[in-house]
Structure 1
Amino acid sequence: MSEREDAAAVSDLTTRRRGRPRRTESDAVGTRDRILVAAREEFSERGYEKTSVRGIAKAAGVDSALVHHYFGTKEQVFEAAVEVAAAPALGARDAVVEGPLEDVGERFTRFIFGVWENPATRMPLLAVVRSAVNNETAATVFRRLVATQLLRRIADQLELPDAELRAELAAAQLVGTAMLRYVIKVEPLASVDVEQIIARVAPVVQNHLTGP
């Protein structure tokens, strides 16, 4: 949808709202939540490129103008959906950066696999990753969120000249392993007990973060 069409849709919504009872704050929150749930499902099933604002609106049972009203463009809807999906995980990220550097590798590893092992956070994350893998716009949104909300905080704790590179290499180790286990489902990695994976991967992550 073009910017002109976006503006027309919002204008149309404003016109049709005249004479209607005023929406309460709880109504607005409920509508936003429905849109985000629908957006996450649409991005998961169709990928970023094939998902449209109109499709999200239809799945949420609202007018497409409401999607634009609350979130803006499709990219902004995707970013909001990513933030909601990542919120439970990011809420626990302080556990990674707090504590001695001697075992930060294990904390980081347990954090990442804890997110993937939990069905409540794994399914939304799968939707995000699948979209990010296939579309640069989606990848940029995901990359920005991960960099600002997680990797930068870990790098700040290292206090080393190449701290950002170290944090990114550690993340690459973990993301690659998670992709093979949860997305591509390569055996026996997909079926082995997660504690075995943590025991083998954590020392590698620790070396990336604090090794010579």
Structure 2
Amino acid sequence: MSAGSRGPGRRSGRRPGSPDTRAGILAAARKLFAERGYASASVRAIALAAEVDPSLVHHYFGTKDDLFLAALQLPVDPRVLLAPAVAEGADGAGERMLRVFLSVWDDPELQLPLLGLARSMAEPDGQVLLREGFLKVVIGPIGVALGIDDPGRRMPLVASQVLGLILVRYLLRVEPLASMPADDVVAIFAPTVQRYLTGELPS
């Protein structure tokens, strides 16, 4: 046997793709995103923690943004759902985005996994995932795509309104908001969201 050959049963390097590889990558990604934040958790570091080649991370998940959303275990991709509302531009975007948001959260099949995700965000790891990842991967790019001025300032304000709505309507189920028809919720909240997007803000 030559020096470069390997005996039966011996492996070198990282493990190839297998039924458990995807789950291992997701577990490593969620851990590192929570510990280091989105920006500092590189695909290479995630691959190393999962003991796979970085190419497998891209094979299973595509971009780092896609991997982050997969690690959150969202039942839907918010970027896809919001794309038509964003494509119409900044005028009226507050109402369109809220209607998409409510259509997802009011769907009985989607609400249970979303509630589980929302509750997990109360934990320290979940807070990092929300602050360092979700706001940058989903919320921030919406502002850029809409072409609004100062999206870095405006989009966190939009997020505060949406997250507050999730807390009161779906987690705490505070009345009358919990049972309010979606059209009424939009009528109440959309002007505020639109002001955050395009209205005048204190200097």
What TM-score do you get using the length of structure 2 for normalisation? 0.62
Query: Structure 1: which 5+ residue stretches go unaligned?
Result: 1-17, 37-47, 49-67, 71-78
Q: How does 1:152-171 map to 2 (within 5 A)?
A: 152-156=140-144, 157-160=146-149, 162-171=150-159
2:83 is equivalent to residue 99 of structure 1 = no
Residue of 113, 133, 138 corresponding to 2:122: 133
Q: How does 1:10-21 map to 2 (within 5 A)?
A: none
Conserved in 2, the CA contact under 8 Å of 1:82 and 1:128? no
Matched AA of 1:127: G
Quote the Cα distance in structure 1 between the aligned partners of 2:191 and 2:148.
Answer: 20
Matched AA of 1:211: G
Structure 1 residues 84 and 104: CA distance shift in structure 2, 3 A: same
Structure 1 residues 171 and 96: CA distance shift in structure 2, 3 A: farther
Conserved in 1, the CA contact under 8 Å of 2:148 and 2:198? no
Structure 1 residues 204 and 85: CA distance shift in structure 2, 3 A: same
2:181 is equivalent to residue 190 of structure 1 = no
Deviation at 1:184, TM superposition (A): 0.4
Deviation at 1:69, TM superposition (A): 6.2
Question: Root-mean-square deviation (CA), in Å?
Answer: 3.3
Conserved in 2, the CA contact under 8 Å of 1:96 and 1:154? no
Q: How does 1:25-64 map to 2 (within 5 A)?
A: 28=19, 32=22
Aligned residue in 1 for 2:105: 116
Aligned residue in 2 for 1:201: 189
Matched AA of 2:175: E
Residue of 163, 170, 173 corresponding to 1:175: 163
Q: How does 1:72-91 map to 2 (within 5 A)?
A: 82-91=71-80
Deviation at 1:105, TM superposition (A): 0.7
Quote the Cα distance in structure 2 between the aligned partners of 1:115 and 1:177.
Answer: 13
Matched AA of 1:139: Q
Matched AA of 2:80: G
Quote the Cα distance in structure 1 between the aligned partners of 2:104 and 2:164.
Answer: 15
What TM-score do you get using the length of structure 1 for normalisation? 0.59
Quote the Cα distance in structure 1 between the aligned partners of 2:89 and 2:142.
Answer: 12
Q: How does 1:141-156 map to 2 (within 5 A)?
A: 141-156=129-144
Question: Higher helix fraction: Structure 1 or Structure 2?
Answer: 1
Structure 1 residues 187 and 94: CA distance shift in structure 2, 3 A: same
Structure 1 residues 114 and 82: CA distance shift in structure 2, 3 A: farther
Deviation at 1:176, TM superposition (A): 0.3
Q: Provide the secondary structure at the position in 1 that maps to 2:74.
A: helix
Matched AA of 2:165: T
